Amino acid sequence: MTFLAMFGFLLSILSALVLAVLNHKSHTRELQLLERLRQSPLYQELYMDMRALNHYDIDQVRIECSGVTIISVCPAHTILDFKFKQNGNSLRNDTFTRLFAELIARDFPVFAQSQAYKVQRYKVYRVNDRVDTAYAFVMRRGYKDFLLAERSPAQLRIY
pLDDT score recorded for residue 94: 85
As to burial, measured by CB atoms within 10 angstroms (0-12 exposed, 13-18 middle, 19+ buried), residue 158 is: exposed
Average pLDDT across the chain, whole number? 88
What pLDDT score does 24 carry? 94
Give residue 131's identity as a one-letter amino acid code.
V
pLDDT at 135: 96
Handedness of CA 18, 20, 23, 27 (dihedral sign): negative
Angle separating helix axes 94-107 and 3-38, nearest 10 degrees: 80
Per-residue pLDDT for 159 more than 70? no
Which pLDDT score, from 0 to 100, does residue 153 have?
Answer: 66
Q: Are 135 and 98 in contact (CB under 8 A)?
A: yes
The distance in angstroms from the start CA to the end CA of the chain is: 86
Predicted confidence (pLDDT) per residue in 97-121, tens digit:
999 999 999 999 999 888 999 999 9
Specify the DSSP element, H or E, that contains 28: helix 3-38
pLDDT at residue 87, as a whole number: 65
Q: pLDDT tens for residues 44-100?
A: 999 999 999 988 889 999 999 889 999 998 878 889 999 887 766 666 788 889 999
Q: Which residues of 80-108 are buried (b: 16+ CB within 10 A; e: fewer)?
A: bebebeeeeeeeeeeebbbbbbbbbbeeb
135-147 pLDDT tens trace = 999 999 988 888 8
CA dist., res. 137 & res. 57, Å (int): 13
**pLDDT score recorded for residue 149:** 81
